Amino acid sequence: MSDRKELFVLVVAADRVIAATLATVLHAGGYMAASTASGATALRIAGRMVVDAAVIDVGANHPLDVETAVALQSKYPDCRILLVCSSSKLDEAALVAEETGLNCELVLRPLSRADLLAKLAAAPGVRSAEPSLLQLQAA
């Protein structure tokens, strides 16, 4: 992906507390992270920062959330997209992702800190700046 020291992960969630919490977990795991509750704001951030990965919480407005993911991946083709959704939205989110050609990973809620960091660390080309910190966070 990138030779930058830290990779940048963008978190998009309608609930600002969830978005901020996920960004804090990512920062503690060695990533640069920003959070927003708006797809439009996410795209403005992506205009100023190279987005290596995005964690997008798919809520009731999931088509808009997936549109944000598609736009991010269009701008940054190597951007790793994690769509976080409830089990009741999983099939619907998978269908919308397939229809839009989105290359993403669907992740079920609830998402633990250890699971989130492990998902990003296991992604091709994406690694934590501090692998040992990842192990500490998972413990």
Closest listed residue to residue 62, CA positions, set 88, 43, 80: 88
The verdict on residue 97 lying in a domain is: yes
- What is the number of H-type helices and E-type strands within the chain? 6, 5
* 40-91 pLDDT tens trace: 999 999 999 999 999 999 876 666 688 899 999 999 999 999 999 988 888 8
For the segment 100-134, what is each residue's pLDDT rounded down to a tens digit?
999 999 999 888 999 999 988 875 555 444 443 33
Return the closest-CA partner of residue 21 out of 31, 32, 11: 11
Q: Is residue 89 in a domain?
A: yes
Determine, yes or no, domain membership for 137. Answer: no
CATH number at residue 125: 3.40.50.2300
> Angle CA(78)–CA(63)–CA(22) in degrees, nearest 5?
60
Query: Is the whole model's pTM more than 0.85, yes or no?
Result: no
Residue 1 lies in a domain: no
Domain total in the chain: 1
Provide the domain limits for residue 77.
8-132
